[in-house]
Amino acid sequence: MNQNGTYQWAPNDPGAPKPKIRKLGRIVLIAVIALILAIGSLTCFYTVDDKQQAVVTTFGKVTDITDAGVHFKLPFGIQQVDKVDVNVYQKIELGYSSADGNTSTTESTMITGDYNIVNVDFFVEYKIADPVAYLYSSNNPELILKNLIQSQVRNVVGSSSVDSVLTDGKENIQMQVKELVAEILAEYDIGLTLVDVKIQDSEPPTQEVIEAFKAVETAKQQAETVVNDAKAYQNAQLPLAEAQADQTIQNAEYLKQKRVNEAYEQVAMFTAMYEEYFKNPEITKSRMYYEAIQEILPDVKLYINTSSGSDDVQMLLPLESLVDSGNGGN
């Protein structure tokens, strides 16, 4: 024991530690420290790809959300990183499985508003909108979404007719389900957002009813074909009809203008005749009289007696015989 109160081994004391053992202990200690530092350095960095976001927690509390790239975190469990696929459309299938081709009547069998049983297979597309809410707001957000979709599909199908479910009402059903689910997801705040709802297939549970609805669908398609053919014929005939209408209008305009011009011409003629009549009424009256006689009796020969009415001029009738005999004598 020295003056400082520490024990000092004697040079030949058999219990004194060997210098090699002390050196080996230091080497092991340094190696352990180096190994810890190496492990810590390897776990200090993490990579996030372009389809992901990473939620960083420090002692269990969310402290950061990182995007694509290489990032640093505290090692030894101080900070934990959970990567979430936020830029990927994910899919839930109900009533069928595209992977193995199996079907599930438990999920697909429903009752319509007019008390008919139908099998409806559908799928939904969704994405993770809030990674923190997705990880910590619920235990299984996908299962919640699946149950919610199935509930709302049954609700909408239960208020629809079997004809609309099987034929032309699918789009309306999809839209209603999407709106209802979006409202509930906003209220639940489980970090998911609904992208689309699609009915994959809908059919009656028996083959006889399936064939009947197929016949109805075929008849509707034939009716649509007839309507489309009629519209095509209408579109082909309308230009011809419009061209004929234009030609008729042009002809009518031409006749109208012709009549107007003729009317102007007759007015001009009447005005000229009136002016001549005004100058010499008797001559004009006689001329008009003779023209009227010629027009009324076109085949009658007209002889005009220009004598003053004295007794020295004697009219001989019939005159045709005399004229004809005179011509024959020549």
Domain ranges for the chain: 19-85, 90-205, 207-304
**Buried b or exposed e, range 198-228, using 16+ CB within 10 angstroms:** ebeebbbeeeebeeebeeeeeeeeeeeeeee
Q: Which two tokens stand for residue 294?
A: 């010629």
Residue 320: what pLDDT? 56
| CB-based contact 272:291 (threshold 8 Å) | no
- Of the candidates 161, 159, 163, the one whose C-alpha atom is nearest the C-alpha of residue 219 is 163
Provide the CATH number for the domain formed by 90-205 in this structure.
Answer: 3.30.479.30
Residue 53: what pLDDT? 92
How high is the mean pLDDT in each 10-residue block of the chain (330 residues)? 50 54 69 66 80 91 91 82 91 88 85 89 93 91 92 92 86 93 90 92 77 79 90 88 89 91 88 78 77 77 59 52 52
- CA–CA distance, 330 with 325 (Å, rounded to integer): 9
- CA–CA distance, 290 with 296 (Å, rounded to integer): 10
Look at the alpha carbons of 141, 142, 147, 149 in this order and tell me if their dihedral is positive or negative: positive
- CA–CA distance, 79 with 59 (Å, rounded to integer): 6
Provide the whole-model pTM.
0.54
- CA–CA distance, 309 with 228 (Å, rounded to integer): 89
